[in-house]
């Protein structure tokens, strides 16, 4: 993969120099065409923003395999019983009817960069002048020995929302008092840094609400520390004493294997048996991005921090979890923010619209217990080499209950707004 | 909150901004709209609507569409100056200069709530 990528990069670099002489790609016939791959937080936002702001001047096609999209963000609240599944599932009707976006619910098989077209699984071709790639993450199944796609039916990951989320919820609801849930947390970098720990909180909440305070959640983590660690530790002690245990690598010594048949996770320290085992493996950019030669050795896609433009291809932008976004975490908020910068750059390429300096933003809310919500956030700008944090904040331990409750209601408002921003 | 405090702190935060612009931004300067660039404001606004519903939504994050410019500027400056509480908004406004705030005010004032 790497040699091919390098060769392609060299070819593209030459094309790029030629392209810079004429930045505006105004097509001689018909409107300029933008194709967006992936209908999640990044892709949905990019498609809507480009269609809305270009007011019909750009032909926008959104390719997404599934007709309905379940958001990973807030899926932990579904696990905790705070949301129903329908409320975190969205369709694309409004993007089609309200913004004139051509929504194609079919699988894209490949990107033919030389011909500037997306090749669909059925062999049809979708040509583009600019392509926005937002495939999210793929799971590296064998990053946890013994784990596989088949094993995920027994040990759900639920790190891509949908049927896996429902499976994990059903399994969580079946855990009895005195039993143990084991979570294998992912290594960096991964989607939603506080997500595993919010999930453990929601698991403990479900158990506690049923009076199953003799059950517990054990987190086996390949990382020595994690996002909002002090806040989660404080919350677990306050709300779920003795119910959540976190072991870093200095304690467990390394996660060696999982065995779906026996429901066990083996580490250097011990073998942990779970009535439910939730394995969240290592992650990389969606396969279609890698196969298109857009990734580097890290498995993710280098981008220009000023525009989200791929460093491998002048005509392609990569947004969301698949991109290497410097200081930004992989989150729906980040993807939404990056998509807006990419949309501006795409419009600048294809029309005479103005281009402004890139600005990015992120906030992540995490629910620890009912009305106890913490948050972390930052503003970002483009430095010479990366998207860099310009200022940041994080909730503090010991904060008053009314502030934490306000954070929760704030997160509910945010969900309504960002999903409207993505799906129309 | 004090307008003088706003002006003083804003001036300290953005020393290059002409005094005239500060006067235009001041809520005490009367009904005059800030001379913001609404096209720049439209781009900047895309960050706002991730949390603030583009219509008149219910919930703890207030709608901001259609706010009079003076109220909009006053609100953002009060976060920027630390006079109003909210971690997200204090963080957001810490990276907004007066050019950005006036551009946002001009853009949001031009919209009507749905």
Q: What is the pLDDT of residues A169-198, one digit of tens each?
A: 999 999 999 999 999 999 999 999 999 999
Token pair 């200081």 in the structure block, residue = A327
Binary contact (A377, B54; C-beta < 8 A): no
Token pair 């799971």 in the structure block, residue = A139
Residues near A277 by Cβ (< 8 Å), separated by ≥ 6?
A154, A155, A181, A182, A183, A184, A258, A260, A263, A264, A265
Alpha helices by DSSP H, A32-142: 41-54, 75-79, 93-99
Cβ-based contacts of A344 with chain B (< 8 Å): 43
pLDDT band for B66, please (50, 70, 90 cuts). Answer: confident
On the 0-12 / 13-18 / 19+ scale of CB atoms within 10 A, A298 is exposed
pLDDT, tens only, B46-63: 999 999 986 655 668 998
Binary contact (B49, A413; C-beta < 8 A): no
pLDDT band for B5, please (50, 70, 90 cuts). Answer: very low
CATH of the structural domain A2-136+286-354, one choice from 3.40.50.970, 3.50.50.60, 3.40.50.620, 3.40.50.2300: 3.50.50.60
Token pair 């795409």 in the structure block, residue = A346
Could you give the CA distance from residue B95 to residue B92 in angstroms, rounded to a whole number? 6
Binary contact (B60, A344; C-beta < 8 A): no
> Could you tell me how many CB contacts below 8 A there are between chain A and chain B?
82
What confidence score (pLDDT) does residue B35 get?
A: 77
**Which residue in chain B has the smallest CA separation from A381?**
B95
- Domains in chain B with CATH codes: 3-26+35-109 (1.10.760.10)
Q: Does B54 touch chain A (CB under 8 A)?
A: yes
Task: For residue A94, give both structure tokens.
Answer: 């409004």
| CATH-assigned architecture of domain A140-282 | 3-Layer(bba) Sandwich (3.50)
From residue A136, how far is each of A286, A287, A393, B18 by CA, in Å? 6, 9, 26, 45
The answer on pLDDT for B79 being more than 60 is yes
The answer on pLDDT for B10 being more than 60 is no
- Specify which residues A277 forms β-bridges with: A182
Tally of CB atoms within 10 A around A105 = 14
CA distance B71 to chain A (A): 21
Q: Decide: A246 and A221 in contact? Cβ < 8 Å.
A: yes
Over residues B63-88, mean pLDDT: 93
Q: Does B87 touch chain A (CB under 8 A)?
A: yes
Could you give the CA distance from residue A237 to residue A95 in angstroms, rounded to a whole number? 44
Binary contact (A421, B49; C-beta < 8 A): yes
Binary contact (B57, A416; C-beta < 8 A): yes
**Which residue in chain B has the smallest CA separation from A338?**
B47
Q: Which of B64, B74, B60 is nearest to B28 (CA)?
A: B74
Could you give the CA distance from residue A66 to residue A40 in angstroms, rounded to a whole number? 10
pLDDT, tens only, A218-267: 999 999 999 999 999 999 999 999 999 999 999 999 999 999 999 999 99
What confidence score (pLDDT) does residue A29 get?
A: 62
Binary contact (B90, A393; C-beta < 8 A): yes
Residues near A389 by Cβ (< 8 Å), separated by ≥ 6?
A327, A378, A379, A380
Question: Could you tell me whether strands A216-220 and A102-104 are parallel, antiparallel, or unpaired per DSSP bridges?
Answer: unpaired
Binary contact (B43, A344; C-beta < 8 A): yes
pLDDT band for A14, please (50, 70, 90 cuts). Answer: very low
Could you give the CA distance from residue A12 to residue A319 in angstroms, rounded to a whole number? 20
Over residues B75-97, mean pLDDT: 95
Residues near A344 by Cβ (< 8 Å), separated by ≥ 6?
A53, A353, A355, A356, B43
Q: Does A217 touch chain B (CB under 8 A)?
A: no
* ipTM of the complex as predicted: 0.86
Binary contact (B46, A340; C-beta < 8 A): yes
Determine the residue among B37, B43, B45, B56 to mutate to test chain A binding: the one whose Cβ has the most chain A Cβ atoms within 10 Å: B43
Over residues B17-30, mean pLDDT: 43
Could you give the CA distance from residue A47 to residue A356 in angstroms, rounded to a whole number? 19
Mean pLDDT of chain A: 94
SS3 per-residue string spanning chain B: CCHHHHHHHHHHHCCCCCHHHHHHHCHHHCCCCCCCCHHHHHHHHHHHCCCCCCCCCCCCCCCCCCCCHHHHHHHHHHHHCCCCCCHHHHHHHHCCCHHHHHHHHHHHHCCCCC
pTM here is 0.89
Let me know if the fold of A2-136+286-354 is the same as that of A140-282.
Answer: yes
Give yes or no for a cis peptide into A189 (omega within 30° of 0).
yes
Three-state DSSP class for residue A218: strand
For residue A258, how far is the Cα from the chain centroid? Answer: 25
pLDDT band for A5, please (50, 70, 90 cuts). Answer: very low
Mean pLDDT of chain B: 76
φ, ψ for residue A321 (rounded to 5)? -60, -25
pLDDT, tens only, B103-113: 999 999 998 76
Q: Decide: A210 and A155 in contact? Cβ < 8 Å.
A: no
CA distance B47 to chain A (A): 7
- Each domain of chain A, given as residue ranges in start order, spans 2-136+286-354, 140-282
pLDDT, tens only, A255-303: 999 999 999 999 999 999 999 999 999 999 999 999 999 999 999 999 9
Cβ-based contacts of B92 with chain A (< 8 Å): 361, 379
Q: Does A377 touch chain B (CB under 8 A)?
A: yes
**CA dihedral in degrees (A86, A91, A94, A100; nearest 10)?**
180
What confidence score (pLDDT) does residue A1 get?
A: 35
Q: Decide: A345 and B43 in contact? Cβ < 8 Å.
A: no
Question: Which of the two residues, A31 and B7, has the higher pLDDT score?
Answer: A31
Over residues A10-25, mean pLDDT: 41
Interface of B with A in 4-43 (CB under 8 A): 39-40, 42-43
Residues near A361 by Cβ (< 8 Å), separated by ≥ 6?
A333, A337, A377, A378, A379, A380, B47, B50, B92
pLDDT band for A16, please (50, 70, 90 cuts). Answer: very low
Could you give the CA distance from residue A286 to residue A136 in angstroms, rounded to a whole number? 6
CA distance A392 to chain B (A): 6
Cβ-based contacts of B88 with chain A (< 8 Å): 363, 375, 377, 393, 410
């Amino acid at each position: 993969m790497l040699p091919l990528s390098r060769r392609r990069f060299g070819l593209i670099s030459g094309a790029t120099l030629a392209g810079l002489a004429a930045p505006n790609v105004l097509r001689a016939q018909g409107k300029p065409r933008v194709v967006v791959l992936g209908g999640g937080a990044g892709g949905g936002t990019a498609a809507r923003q480009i269609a809305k702001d270009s007011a019909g001047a750009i032909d926008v096609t959104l390719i997404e395999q599934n007709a309905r999209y379940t958001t990973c963000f807030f899926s932990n609240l579904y696990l905790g019983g705070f949301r129903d599944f329908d409320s975190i599932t969205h369709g694309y009707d409004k993007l089609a009817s309200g913004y004139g976006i051509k929504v194609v619910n079919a699988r894209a098989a490949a990107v033919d960069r030389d011909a500037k077209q997306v090749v669909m699984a059925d062999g049809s071709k979708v040509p583009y002048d600019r392509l926005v790639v937002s495939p999210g993450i793929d799971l590296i199944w064998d990053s946890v020995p013994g784990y596989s796609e088949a094993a995920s039916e027994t040990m759900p990951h639920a790190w891509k929302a949908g049927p896996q989320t429902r499976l994990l919820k059903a399994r969580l609801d079946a855990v009895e008092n005195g039993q143990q849930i084991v979570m294998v947390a992912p290594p960096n970098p991964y989607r939603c840094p506080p997500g595993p720990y919010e999930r453990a909180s929601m698991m403990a909440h479900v158990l506690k609400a049923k009076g199953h305070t003799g059950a517990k959640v054990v987190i086996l983590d390949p990382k020595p520390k994690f996002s909002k660690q002090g806040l989660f530790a404080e919350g677990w002690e306050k709300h779920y004493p003795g119910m959540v245990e976190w072991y870093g690598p200095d304690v467990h010594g390394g996660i060696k294997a999982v065995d779906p048949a026996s429901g066990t996770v083996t580490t250097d320290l011990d073998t942990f048996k779970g009535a439910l085992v939730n394995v969240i493996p290592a992650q990389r950019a969606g396969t279609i991005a890698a196969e298109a030669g857009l990734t580097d050795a890290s498995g993710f896609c280098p981008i220009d921090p000023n525009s989200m433009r791929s460093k491998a291809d002048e005509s392609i932008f990569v947004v969301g979890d698949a991109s290497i976004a410097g200081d930004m975490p992989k989150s729906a908020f980040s993807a939404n923010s990056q998509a807006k910068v990419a949309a501006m750059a795409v419009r600048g390429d294809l029309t005479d619209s103005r281009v402004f300096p890139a600005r990015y933003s992120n906030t992540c809310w995490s629910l620890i217990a009912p009305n106890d919500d913490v948050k972390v956030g930052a503003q970002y700008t483009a430095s010479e080499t990366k998207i860099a944090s310009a200022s940041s904040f994080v909730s503090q331990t010991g904060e008053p209950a009314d502030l934490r409750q306000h954070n929760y209601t704030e997160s509910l408002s945010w969900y309504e707004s960002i999903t409207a921003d993505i799906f129309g | 909150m004090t307008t003088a405090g706003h002006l003083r702190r804003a001036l300290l935060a953005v020393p290059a901004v002409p005094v005239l612009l500060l006067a235009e931004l001041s809520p005490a300067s009367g009904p005059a709209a800030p001379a913001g660039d609404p096209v720049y404001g439209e781009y900047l606004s895309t960050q706002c609507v991730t949390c603030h519903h583009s219509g008149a939504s219910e919930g703890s994050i207030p709608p901001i569409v259609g706010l009079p410019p003076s109220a909009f500027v006053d609100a953002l400056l009060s976060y920027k100056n630390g006079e109003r509480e909210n971690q997200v908004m204090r963080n957001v406004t810490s990276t907004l200069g007066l050019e950005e705030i006036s551009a946002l005010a001009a853009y949001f004032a031009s919209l009507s709530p749905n």
